[in-house]
Every structure is written in structure tokens, then in C-alpha cells.
Chain A
């Protein structure tokens, strides 16, 4: 299935490349013998740009009183000039919230971030475009825009309610974190939690298992009919950080056809660019070249590895991988193809589920025997 989707994407990629002047320039430079890795990286990225699995931009912007992403801004690690320099073609904009927003503020705070994302995209029509599906992403790219996808949202953002989940999906949310609620915790999913996963499958909302317990990861992998993602997890075997994934689960991810997006943070991958490359090597080896991607983690207040200080640095990372012998095909999957495939698989699974299932009316109190909060009498 992965190969089939790759085939679909290649003609689109060529279309996108030929629409860009710099694409042709670099193609010229490719001909005389073996190019330097960074030039090869740039040439590859022109055709297969980076789909960044986790950007903290919405929350970072919500803290600023003024910004202009077109001009660029030193208060941020992300702006349009640096995104273009870094060959970024799509980004997941995280809607995660600080701990203080859990409780009775998560829904409103998430709606505020979605609203802000819409405002930011509207204010930069030449650079950004909101995308809800793989097709939107490809379309944005064909128009030279960076596709912005919303997610992950915090699990608390659905307020234990499937109607609210469907409303967030309607507003564009395409992935949901899986931890920290009454229906998903250290022990895995409750019965209602399983129903949440099935409803996410029916809608086409990806389960994001970064930050989930091992029990939850296994449980979701059992229930989910669609690929899952780790939006910000590296290899636990190399760096034993709690958000990193052990090899056993990376192997399970391969069976699920999911995606592990390796974060560029010093804490999870190590202090240098080559440490990130080590993790990408490892995840590719264990989960497979179809199941690995990159998360920049920019503007999330994480300490970044040397050489990856902002969104312009992806070509250097890709050059390192090419230097290590990654094939062009594997690099193109890493940067763009795998994210596209997972989005298409999730859409496909959703369409199939919608033929079989109506919107679920299950409630937490009915499935888990918890008294509903807020209703009196």
C-alpha cells in the first residue's frame, strides 16, 4: 500500500518542482558528477519537502503581541523566510496546552489556538494554507504554499465527549494526544477510550501516542484500524527519555503502518545534529523506512541540538543522512512521502468506517460507569 501511495505522489512532486525556478537551477547543478551532500539534499527537498510533524507555533504566537511571519521574527524559530530556506512544505501545528490549562479550560483554550491558527494563515496567504487532508497538502504544495495541519490537540480538549471530538474535527483538528484523561492513562484505554479511538478512526483523526504509556500504545494499536503516529518520539534504545519509543513498540508500529516522527530536541535525541541522525538511522532500521519522519519541535521551548537551531536547517540534516548512505527514495519517504501516506491511509480508513458506523453516541458515564460532571438533578 505504501508503494502505491508513493507512486501517486511522484507526479505531483514533479509538478511542484517544475513550478519553481530554483528547482530547475538545482537540477542543472546535479548533472556534473557527484554533488556535495547539501546540494543533493536541497535538490531532493525541492521535490520532497519536509513535512514537519510538530511545531509549537500557535502557542508561541499566542504569547506575542505582534508578529509578521513574512518579515521574519527573532522571537521565533519559525518564519516564512526560514521555512522556505529549510524546504518545509507542510507542518503540523501543535495545539497542546500547558499543564495549567487542563481541567475546565482545555476546550476554550484549544478553540482559541485554532482561531489563532486560522488568523495567522489568513494573514499570510502567500505563504501558508490550512490543510485538512493529504490532498489539501499536495494542493498547497503545488501552489507553493506551506500546508498547515492542526494537531495534536490535548486529549482533554474533547472534554470526554464524542460530539466535541467531532466538532474539533470539523474545525480542522487531525490528531489527538492520548494521555491524561479519565479514559486514557497509565493503564491504557477505558471502554470509553476504545470508543474514542474508534470514533477518531471514523473521522480521520490520528492518534498521537507520544507521551502515552506503553500500555496505552499497545492498547491503541490493538483497537485502531488506522495508522497511528508518534508526533515527537525518538529511539528509547539510544536515549532513555520517557517520551521515546522502545524497539518493541517501534516494531509494532511497523505492523500498524504508522509513523514515528523523530524530534530535533537535545533532551530526546542528543546535543548534536549527528545525534538526531543516529535516531533517524535507528528508527528507520527498527520501524522501517516507511514509518519514520521528522518533527522540528521548533517554538516548543525545547533545547535544540547544535546545527538545528531553527526551521532553516533541514537541508543540513538531510545532507548528513545522505552522507550516511540513505537512498534518495528513503529520504523522500522520510521528509514527505510517509506523512502523505499516513494521512491518506487515515482518510481511507475513515471513509471505510463511515460506511459501517454512524456517529457514536457513547458516553463516558455509560461505558465507564462514571457520573457525568455538570449535569444536575
Chain B
């Protein structure tokens, strides 16, 4: 049976034994989260001065993420996003991405007791065994490689294990979900990027990309793909979500769709409200994703006159229910997008909130075996499978020297 929808009292009505069971489950199979934007938040809020915004201290109100709340949330693995904004192009995007990677390295160097560098599925399991948080990296957008497969390989060498093919804007070789159709999915070079990612063992991330791009990548990829932070389009019709025909291809591909919590993607009323809020931000001369204090002030003024529709734990659970139906329990996961979104659902306010979601799913009758797949096992399996494909391809094929000019003319 489903719990009642909506309202701030949602968690209060949750039977406490579900929450205890959720915590016990997470102690064994912790959350492997697909997407957290802490590095970008550190760049924007502290210009990478990690003394000033130290995640060893309580950062409630400043960040969604700190070490204590990761622990409280039962997080056992995190793909840290090394996102850079798409108005950075060419070398500036590459350099900024390298700087983001450097930031993650500094976090790992600084907190060795809590965070463990992870490059493989085996590293993830080792971290779980040690009670540390496996820390992986994902690049968010093909602009980060500046149309160069050599740069893609450099990112892999530096530890990046997935690349989202686009962010919110089209790039030369792939279409974004939130832009006008360009190359119609993937260009020939885009297909080559996917093949090279397969060869080196970099997961192809299809969050943010157009449905045409999702289908094109699934046609070409011989390794499982991921959606690092996308929910279901059937439940909430937003271009950032995954259509059912794509979810239904995941069993054949072996990939995993990690549901995101971002209210403006998961709740229809929030989708509409956000469109109005973004217009307001642009009218005030800000980028609509800007989270600087000045920008947030403009946002807050808008919110004062236009009450924000509130998503809840239950809203996210609705997506997971549907995704489990459409893709199967072996092909779903969680990608909260913390510190990458201004707002979060009630009950999932920050990285300490995951147990509430697991408790909600328990109350809906999800089995512990299914939940273990959702939180941990599917993510580990996908990375391991990508490694297997890379070992096989790497033995048969050398590095691709294809260029955008050569393949796309």
C-alpha cells in the first residue's frame, strides 16, 4: 500500500520501524549515489578554499553535503560530479574540469578516514568493507573534453569514470534534452566518443541528453550505460527524465537509471513553477542555475510571492516504483543531485535524507533484496561490467585518433 501523498507531515507518519529497518539495510548495502555537485559548490561558494567550507564541520544551511550527514544518510559510494558550466568552452572547459578533478583529489587527501578513492567496482567493495565512502568522479557534459578523444583519455587517467554526453546545451556531436534538436542524437563523432568510452572503461551517462541521443548511444554502446541523475518521464513529463521505451532497453543493455530528487524534474507542479522562476532569474540578469548569494536573493523574492510546490519523499518513490516496473529492479539506482539543485524534496532535504526514501519504499512493500540492488549492487555491477568490456576491447583496439573534423566534416 502506498502512503498518503504530499504534505510536510509525510515523514512524521512513517512508522518508525521502517526507518530503523532502512538504516539497518543501509548499514549493509549503503547508498551508491550517481551525482553530487559538491566540487562545483566549493568552487562557487569558496573558490576551492576548502578550509573555509570544511565538510568535516557541519555545513547545514550552506551545503547539502558534509561528512557527518553522508554518514547519517548511509552513503557508501558517491560519484562526485566534476561539472563545469557550458558557457565555459574550448580549453577553458577542459582546464576548469581539471581544476574540479583536483578539488576532489584534495578532498580525498584531506579526509582519508572517511573518503576512499575508487576507480573500480573492486575499490567500491573495498571501501564498503572498510566503512569508508567510495569516491568516484563523473564529468558532466561533453564540453569537458573539447571534442578531443585524447582529452577524454586524460580524464579517465585522472580517475573520471563516467561522462554525461551533454549538459543543458547541445554540443557539436550530441543533442541535449533541454536544447533544440541539432545533430539528431549523436553525430558520427559522437558515436566514436561512445565507442572510445567503452574501450577505456568510462561509463556513458545519458542524463541530460535528448531522447534521440539516449537511443543512439544505446545502439552503439557495448557496455552498460548509466543515467546518473534522471527520473521517469511517464511519471513527470520533463525532458530531463527518461521515456519508457528507453527504460525498457536497459535490461538488454545492462545499464542503470539512477532516479534524481530534483523537485523541478520530478513534480509536475514544480516543473511549471520552475519555468516561471527561471524566466524571473533571466529577467534579473542571472544565469538560471546561478546559486550565488545575490542570485539566491532574487530567487527567494520570487518564492515569497509564488509559493513553491513541494515535492516529497513519496514523489521520488513514485518514480522508483515506475522505473522498477519499466526497467526492472536490476536497472535502477539513486542520483540525488545534492548541491547541484537549489531545492530538494521534503524528507530528502540533504544527504542525510536517504533513509527516509528507503523507509518509504519499505512501506510500499519493496523487499530487502530489491532495495540492496537499488542502493548498492546495481551501481557496482555496472562499473564492473564497463571494466570487463574495456579489458576486452582494449586488447583488440588501440586508442582512437578520430577527430570531429574528420568524422563530421
Q: Given A107-B98, A115-B399, A377-B292, is A159 in contact with B91 using a C-beta cutoff of 8 Å?
A: yes
Judge whether A33 is part of the interface by a CB distance below 8 angstroms: no
Is the pair A111, B151 in contact by a Cβ cutoff of 8 Å?
A: yes
Is the pair B91, A108 in contact by a Cβ cutoff of 8 Å?
A: yes
Is the pair A115, B99 in contact by a Cβ cutoff of 8 Å?
A: no
Binary interface encoding of chain B residues 128-166 relative to chain A, with 1 for a CB under 8 A from any of its CBs, else 0: 000000000000000000101011011001100000000
Residues of B within 8 A of A374 (CB): 87-88, 92, 96
Binary interface encoding of chain A residues 78-104 relative to chain B, with 1 for a CB under 8 A from any of its CBs, else 0: 000000000000000000000000001
Is the pair B47, A363 in contact by a Cβ cutoff of 8 Å?
A: yes
- B: contact size bracket: 35 or more
- A: contact size bracket: 20 to 34
A119, closest chain B residue (CB): B399
A170, closest chain B residue (CB): B158
Judge whether B106 is part of the interface by a CB distance below 8 angstroms: yes
Which of A107, A112, A363, A377 makes the CB contact (< 8 A) with B95?
A: A107
Judge whether B307 is part of the interface by a CB distance below 8 angstroms: no
For chain A, residues 146 to 170, give those with C-beta under 8 angstroms from any C-beta of chain B: 158-159, 161, 163-164, 166-168, 170
Is the pair B399, A164 in contact by a Cβ cutoff of 8 Å?
A: no
Binary interface encoding of chain A residues 244-286 relative to chain B, with 1 for a CB under 8 A from any of its CBs, else 0: 0000000000000000000000000000000000000000000
Which of B48, B98, B150, B290 makes the CB contact (< 8 A) with A167?
A: B98
Q: Given A119-B399, A170-B158, is A373 in contact with B151 using a C-beta cutoff of 8 Å?
A: no
Which of A108, A112, A115, A359 makes the CB contact (< 8 A) with B90?
A: A108
Residues of B within 8 A of A111 (CB): 94, 148, 150-151, 154
Question: A116 CA to B398 CA in the complex, in Å?
Answer: 12
Interface of B is mostly: helix
Residues of B within 8 A of A112 (CB): 148, 150-151
Binary interface encoding of chain B residues 337-370 relative to chain A, with 1 for a CB under 8 A from any of its CBs, else 0: 0000000000000000000000000000000000
Is the pair A373, B98 in contact by a Cβ cutoff of 8 Å?
A: no
Question: A376 CA to B103 CA in the complex, in Å?
Answer: 21
Judge whether B49 is part of the interface by a CB distance below 8 angstroms: yes
Is the pair B91, A377 in contact by a Cβ cutoff of 8 Å?
A: no
For chain B, residues 196 to 212, give those with C-beta under 8 angstroms from any C-beta of chain A: none
Is the pair A163, B151 in contact by a Cβ cutoff of 8 Å?
A: no
Is the pair B91, A106 in contact by a Cβ cutoff of 8 Å?
A: yes
Question: A363 CA to B399 CA in the complex, in Å?
Answer: 35
Question: A107 CA to B148 CA in the complex, in Å?
Answer: 11
Is the pair B47, A161 in contact by a Cβ cutoff of 8 Å?
A: no
Residues of B within 8 A of A108 (CB): 90-91, 94, 146, 148, 150-151
A113, closest chain B residue (CB): B150
Binary interface encoding of chain B residues 96-135 relative to chain A, with 1 for a CB under 8 A from any of its CBs, else 0: 1011111101100000000000000000000000000000
Judge whether A357 is part of the interface by a CB distance below 8 angstroms: no
Binary interface encoding of chain A residues 165-178 relative to chain B, with 1 for a CB under 8 A from any of its CBs, else 0: 01110110000000
A360, closest chain B residue (CB): B48
Residues of A within 8 A of B102 (CB): 163-164, 166-167, 359
Residues of A within 8 A of B99 (CB): 161, 163-164, 167
Binary interface encoding of chain A residues 100-137 relative to chain B, with 1 for a CB under 8 A from any of its CBs, else 0: 00001111100110111011000100000000000000
Is the pair A115, B150 in contact by a Cβ cutoff of 8 Å?
A: yes
B87, closest chain A residue (CB): A376
Question: A104 CA to B286 CA in the complex, in Å?
Answer: 26
Report the minimum CB–CB distance from A356 to chain B (whole Å). Answer: 15
Is the pair B103, A163 in contact by a Cβ cutoff of 8 Å?
A: yes
Is the pair B91, A104 in contact by a Cβ cutoff of 8 Å?
A: yes
Is the pair B90, A105 in contact by a Cβ cutoff of 8 Å?
A: yes
Residues of B within 8 A of A166 (CB): 102, 105
Which of A161, A171, A358 makes the CB contact (< 8 A) with B158?
A: A171
B103, closest chain A residue (CB): A163
Question: A105 CA to B91 CA in the complex, in Å?
Answer: 6
Report the minimum CB–CB distance from B206 to chain A (whole Å). Answer: 25
Q: Which of A108, A118, A161, A164 has the most chain B CB atoms inside 10 A of its CB?
A: A108
A169, closest chain B residue (CB): B102
Judge whether A361 is part of the interface by a CB distance below 8 angstroms: yes
Residues of A within 8 A of B292 (CB): 377
Is the pair B88, A107 in contact by a Cβ cutoff of 8 Å?
A: no
Question: A119 CA to B295 CA in the complex, in Å?
Answer: 46
Report the minimum CB–CB distance from B297 to chain A (whole Å). Answer: 14
Is the pair A377, B287 in contact by a Cβ cutoff of 8 Å?
A: yes
Which of A123, A171, A361, A377 makes the CB contact (< 8 A) with B49?
A: A361
Question: A164 CA to B105 CA in the complex, in Å?
Answer: 12
Q: Which of A106, A159, A373 has the most chain B CB atoms inside 10 A of its CB?
A: A159
Residues of B within 8 A of A170 (CB): 105, 157-158
Question: A361 CA to B150 CA in the complex, in Å?
Answer: 27
For chain A, residues 169 to 227, give those with C-beta under 8 angstroms from any C-beta of chain B: 170-171
Is the pair B154, A115 in contact by a Cβ cutoff of 8 Å?
A: yes
Binary interface encoding of chain B residues 369-409 relative to chain A, with 1 for a CB under 8 A from any of its CBs, else 0: 00000000000000000000000000000110000000000
Is the pair B158, A159 in contact by a Cβ cutoff of 8 Å?
A: no
Residues of B within 8 A of A163 (CB): 48, 95, 98-103
Is the pair B287, A359 in contact by a Cβ cutoff of 8 Å?
A: no
Report the minimum CB–CB distance from B160 to chain A (whole Å). Answer: 11
Report the minimum CB–CB distance from B100 to chain A (whole Å). Answer: 8
Report the minimum CB–CB distance from B189 to chain A (whole Å). Answer: 15
B399, closest chain A residue (CB): A119
Which of B92, B94, B148, B150 makes the CB contact (< 8 A) with A373?
A: B92
Report the minimum CB–CB distance from A115 to chain B (whole Å). Answer: 4
Residues of A within 8 A of B88 (CB): 374
B149, closest chain A residue (CB): A115
Is the pair A161, B150 in contact by a Cβ cutoff of 8 Å?
A: no
Question: A112 CA to B67 CA in the complex, in Å?
Answer: 37
Report the minimum CB–CB distance from A163 to chain B (whole Å). Answer: 3
Question: A170 CA to B137 CA in the complex, in Å?
Answer: 16
Q: Which of B50, B94, B100, B153 has the most chain A CB atoms inside 10 A of its CB?
A: B94
Question: A111 CA to B95 CA in the complex, in Å?
Answer: 10
Q: Given A104-B90, A105-B90, is A116 in contact with B48 using a C-beta cutoff of 8 Å?
A: no
A–B complex contacts, Cβ < 8 Å, 13 sampled: A104-B90, A106-B91, A107-B91, A107-B95, A111-B94, A114-B150, A114-B154, A115-B153, A164-B99, A167-B158, A359-B102, A376-B287, A377-B292
Query: Measuring CB to CB, which residues of chain A are less than 8 angstroms from any residue of chain B?
Result: 104-108, 111-112, 114-116, 118-119, 123, 158-159, 161, 163-164, 166-168, 170-171, 358-359, 361, 363, 366, 373-374, 376-377
Of all A-B residue pairs in the complex, the 6 with the closest CB atoms, nearest first, are: A163-B99, A115-B150, A159-B95, A163-B102, A167-B98, A112-B150
10 new A-B pairs (CB below 8 Å) besides A119-B399, A164-B98? A107-B91, A108-B151, A112-B151, A115-B151, A158-B95, A159-B91, A167-B99, A170-B105, A361-B48, A366-B47
